Structure 1
Amino acid sequence: MLAMPEIHYIKHLRENKDLSISEIARKTGLNWRTVKKYADGNIGGQKIMKKKRGMMYELGYGEIIDDWLEEDAKLPRKERRTNRTMFEQLQKEHGFPGSYRTVCAYIQERKPHLKAEKEKRYERLEHPPGEAQVDFGTMQVVKDGALEDKKLLILSFPHSNAGFAHPLPSENRECFLEGLKQLFHQAGGVPRRLRMDNLPAAVVTVGKGDNRQYTEAFLRFQAHYGFEVQPCNPASGHEKGNVERKVYYVRHRCFVPAPVVESDEQLTEWLRVKMIEDRSRLHYEKGVPIEELWKEDQKELKALPLDDLPIFSLDTVKVNKYGEITVDGEKWVIHQARVNQSLVVQKGWDRFICLSNQGEVVFEAPRPYMNQKQEIPWEEIFNDWEKKPRSVSYSRFFKYLPEKVQTYLTFRKEEVKQRVRGVRELLKSHTLKELDEWLNKEQRFDLAPHELKVLLEAKQQAYPEKWEETYTPSVFVNYETDLHLYDQRLCPSWEGGANRDDSGHQRDL
């Protein structure tokens, strides 16, 4: 359809300039039929769109194609049906009398409409001060030379975009509640409303709307700290988009590459400082420092209770015929309990305690997930380093090596490739810790890898243990002979290793 100025121009050339249709078409460059339509026709209002007609719309074949298109949209592109396949299936299964071109035309017209119908429209939400969102994120750290997964519980305040993070070993009920308690202490108060998704650690069943059945432990925790819960709808992570984005931000700012930590306490403090430093940047939308907006959030926080709520759960277990109990899927031998005895297991976030019916502690141990680690694939890494020796000191994995091993590999730049190959072979029979301890003690960074191997193997040689015999008198056990006495007997003129004259005076040699 032409714009109104173009239509007026065609009318002007026809009525006032008295040009023919062909002349107007050549002058404007438009099609002859288009010029004829507007030059001699009436300029009416916009045409009312009529209802689509045809077998695809009237006989229901279009609805079948729509269903197929929606089904295929959920599959990988390579597994979707082609237009030809749909046409043949329509003919075979539904007796479609039309042509292949009719099906293609319908599909070309309907695909954009079906895609538009799926797109949701979101409303921009306003977040008042004192409202928070919480979610878990999985991060990796390097501890004791091995990769370790950490479940990071993040508390985010959408009004100010301030965030707090606490590392935990799991996402179970005890860890979740312990993490929330620690985050409330970091924030210096309790948020008035807490938006969260349907975490198994807090939610038992999901009903219609806002109806949720929460765990008894979570309801007790909520009553103690006095916050209101705002649950998200199932599969609607966008309803807590601020904390979802905060998890992504913290992962890429603090955990890529994985940091090296010595203990959980050090990681917790390092994260606390990182999140405080992050508040110095500007808010992504408001253009005001996050620290200033955080002060507005702080004014709306509820005060912390005078006493913290102890976080633990209680279970009852029975000792089997092997003297074992099962906790967190792992079997533990209880030597102080008898077969078929019932024990009470008190589970904290990091440890569990077994109690007898009289309240006596009969066993205590860390929960099994506290020691889960993932070994770093050093063999593959050393293979890559051998191919590209100049990249060793710039690799993200280089800092995960023990300090003395780092020094040994880069001690001589021209020997990096040979040393990488040699250390790779050493790791087949020794650990990085053993190599680091030997280098730290001997400080022999000049040795070649094969020389290191000989010395390490010599250190591991097993010597016969000293026999225990009872015939030697006790006064002679561990007796050290004083050879100075023999010197006095054999050479009286030499006392204490010094030469003396006849008068007893010492003289120089």
Structure 2
Amino acid sequence: MLQMANYEFIRKQHFVLGKSIRQISRETGYSRQVIRKALTTTEIPVYKLSKLKPKPVIESVKPIILEWLRQDEQAPPKQRHTAKRIFQRLVEEYDFTGGESTIRRYVRQLRVSPPKAYVPLDFPPGKFAQFDWGEVDILLFGKQVTIQVFCLRCTYSRKIFVQTFFHQKQEALLQGHVNAFEFLGAVPHTIVYDNLKTAVKKILEGKNREEQERFTQLRAHYLFESYFCEPAKGNQKGQVENLVKMVKQQFFTPMPSVASLDELNDWLLQKCLSYEDTRVPRSTITVGEAFIQDKECMLPLPSHPLECYRMVPVKSNSLSLVTFEQNAYSVPVSYASKELVCRVYADDLAIYHNGELIATHQRCFEKGKEIFNYDHYLDLLLIRPGSVLYARPLQKAKLPEIYHQFLDKCKHRSAGIKDFIRILLLHREFEPSLVEDTLRESAQNGIFQYDAVRQLLLQRTIPEHRVSSLAFGDESHVPVIRVKSPNLTQYNDLLQKRSVVH
């Protein structure tokens, strides 16, 4: 194949020196067809095959590879053939003698997808927001844990709301929406979702969905509409997808170290507020300025927020414990072995009997744990004081040291254990901090009785129980009585005389 330098020589021979095509052909040995081509174009010559090169090694297995790839379209995504697996099967099943690179090259050609292209979108103010979950790791009390990130973004102003939970269950989804609406001070008309199970019970034909009842309750309370993307079409809510990526890269890199999710969420809230200074893409205004327009077109908040929970029937056992998500939670002993109902909130549990609230607990997200409120067992311990020293609810209660000091003093006297239980029962009447301070005052005076502690508490809290200290002036009418100290040495005199007292 001629190079560009050959083309240059031929063109100069003809156009500059005036030589004919026949003369140039005779002098250079190039065919007249090649010379004519050089005279008609100045494009850099490119080699073109007149026909494809034969591939005898792979030609025989091409139909097999195509069939396997066609079957893969019906298989789960993580159970489809890779190029390496195709090569292995060809060697094992068809005695393929070619190289793995040959198979990789052919499979790569088959899997070439068309370039992705998207339509630029512009949303009206107040109409749309997008939601998605993210997942990040943090250091909680120095231990690395995985948490879930609730992300909501208004599509017009780019206003964001970010909050963390320990899980993605329905109560967290609902509570996240309530908190987001309170933060925004308004409700977008339509929120875009993927097909998460906590919102969608069943995917119907087209855009239709059978929604979860609690999620429908949320929409009915705040009057917004839901729009669900097509399955596996995350690009249909691209703004919030980008928000999840940004949150991971900017808010959680490096990994934050906190003592609680409340502390982390307060910090994230400040991040959301500071994000208002960011400029809206392809605009001259900031997120905060755009949100003013956004909010004017949104739905108003209802008179009260929705209480976000799901109902779970439970039954307490003979140890006054109910089991929820592989953890045991205590209830008062009077409700042992009864059918109960548990309201499951994002972070708490509330247990009811016939509509009456009987116990609340902070929700535990570990497995196989027992969560006690020792107050639930005090009435029974008052009847069975012998169990106090070994009662698991008291052992796990982490009572202040002053209570252990009282128990050590009380357990050595008759009815002392019952006195200690009655002291714990004082928490039902008085603030625990007040009881603790009173116990310290009582211990300083060497008093370790329930009646004395209760009297001190009454003096601190009820005016009519307070006893004013006596103070006598110089002109007091109360006579001064002086008692002569006894002489105890006379008893020693009796011992010296070896007297016997009958």
**TM-score for both structures, normalised by structure 1:** 0.58
The structure 2 residue matched to 1:256, chosen from 242, 253, 256, is: 253
CA contact (8 A) 1:325 1:333 kept: yes
CA contact (8 A) 1:280 1:289 kept: yes
CA contact (8 A) 2:329 2:361 kept: no
The 5-angstrom pairing of residues 396-435 of structure 1 reads none
The 5-angstrom pairing of residues 225-304 of structure 1 reads 225-286=222-283, 288-304=285-301
- Name the residue aligned to 1:483: none
What is the count of residue pairs matched by the alignment? 368
CA contact (8 A) 1:135 1:197 kept: yes
The structure 2 residue matched to 1:171, chosen from 168, 171, 175, is: 168
SS of aligned partner of 1:136:
strand
Shift in CA distance, 466/309, structure 1 to aligned 2, threshold 3 Å: closer
**2:339 is equivalent to residue 337 of structure 1:** no
Displacement of 1:68: 5.5
SS of aligned partner of 2:226:
strand
- Name the residue aligned to 1:20: 24
- Name the residue aligned to 1:361: 357
SS of aligned partner of 2:342:
strand
Which letter maps to 2:24?
A: S
Displacement of 1:286: 3.8
Displacement of 1:149: 4.3
- Name the residue aligned to 1:222: 219
Alignment partners' CA distance in 1, 2:248 and 2:103: 46
Deviations 1:481-503 (A, max 9, x none): xxxxxxx99xxxxxxxxxxxxxx
Alignment partners' CA distance in 1, 2:225 and 2:6: 63
Which letter maps to 2:19?
A: K
Displacement of 1:6: 9.4
Alignment partners' CA distance in 2, 1:356 and 1:293: 49
Shift in CA distance, 89/12, structure 1 to aligned 2, threshold 3 Å: farther
Root mean square deviation of aligned Cα: 5.0
CA contact (8 A) 1:152 1:167 kept: yes
Between 217-226 and 153-162, report the one with greater CA deviation.
153-162
CA contact (8 A) 1:136 1:152 kept: yes
The 5-angstrom pairing of residues 86-485 of structure 1 reads 92=95, 108=105, 110-111=106-107, 113-117=109-113, 119-130=115-126, 131-147=128-144, 149-286=146-283, 288-320=285-317, 323-334=320-331, 335-339=333-337, 341-357=338-354, 359-369=355-365
Which letter maps to 1:17?
A: K
Shift in CA distance, 121/54, structure 1 to aligned 2, threshold 3 Å: farther
Displacement of 1:305: 1.4
Alignment partners' CA distance in 2, 1:170 and 1:75: 28
- Name the residue aligned to 2:493: none
CA contact (8 A) 2:123 2:155 kept: yes
Deviations 1:445-481 (A, max 9, x none): xxxxxxxxxxxxxxxxx9xx679589xxxxxx969xx
CA contact (8 A) 1:346 1:354 kept: yes
CA contact (8 A) 2:325 2:367 kept: no
Which letter maps to 1:80?
A: K
SS of aligned partner of 1:190:
coil
Between 301-310 and 359-368, report the one with greater CA deviation.
359-368
CA contact (8 A) 1:345 1:355 kept: yes
Shift in CA distance, 61/257, structure 1 to aligned 2, threshold 3 Å: closer
SS of aligned partner of 1:311:
coil
CA contact (8 A) 2:84 2:104 kept: no
Shift in CA distance, 262/209, structure 1 to aligned 2, threshold 3 Å: same
Alignment partners' CA distance in 1, 2:140 and 2:55: 68
Which letter maps to 1:307?
A: H
Deviations 1:72-125 (A, max 9, x none): 997999971587x687568559xxxxx969x988975x5554243365443333
Alignment partners' CA distance in 1, 2:91 and 2:141: 63
Displacement of 1:13: 4.9
CA contact (8 A) 1:351 1:367 kept: yes
CA contact (8 A) 1:65 1:86 kept: no
Deviations 1:394-415 (A, max 9, x none): xxxxxxxxxxxxxxxxxxxxxx
Alignment partners' CA distance in 2, 1:326 and 1:315: 11
Between 139-148 and 191-200, report the one with greater CA deviation.
139-148
Alignment partners' CA distance in 1, 2:160 and 2:281: 14
Shift in CA distance, 158/322, structure 1 to aligned 2, threshold 3 Å: same
Alignment partners' CA distance in 1, 2:242 and 2:174: 22
Shift in CA distance, 74/64, structure 1 to aligned 2, threshold 3 Å: farther
Which letter maps to 1:361?
A: L
CA contact (8 A) 2:83 2:107 kept: no
Shift in CA distance, 363/116, structure 1 to aligned 2, threshold 3 Å: same
Alignment partners' CA distance in 2, 1:112 and 1:170: 39
Deviations 1:16-40 (A, max 9, x none): 5224347557xxxxxx5xx654336
- Stretches of structure 1 that go unaligned for 5 or more consecutive residues are 26-31, 94-98, 374-461, 471-476, 480-487, 490-509
Deviations 1:38-91 (A, max 9, x none): 3368989xxxx99989898xx9853333456787997999971587x6875685
Shift in CA distance, 6/246, structure 1 to aligned 2, threshold 3 Å: farther
CA contact (8 A) 2:135 2:146 kept: yes
Deviations 1:346-377 (A, max 9, x none): 222222222222x233332122229999xxxx
Alignment partners' CA distance in 2, 1:74 and 1:50: 41
SS of aligned partner of 1:116:
coil
**2:73 is equivalent to residue 65 of structure 1:** no
CA contact (8 A) 2:280 2:286 kept: yes
CA contact (8 A) 1:62 1:106 kept: no
Which letter maps to 1:218?
A: F
Displacement of 1:177: 0.5
**2:35 is equivalent to residue 39 of structure 1:** yes
Alignment partners' CA distance in 2, 1:89 and 1:478: 88
Shift in CA distance, 111/288, structure 1 to aligned 2, threshold 3 Å: farther
- Stretches of structure 2 that go unaligned for 5 or more consecutive residues are 42-48, 370-404, 415-444, 448-484, 487-502
Alignment partners' CA distance in 2, 1:169 and 1:240: 24
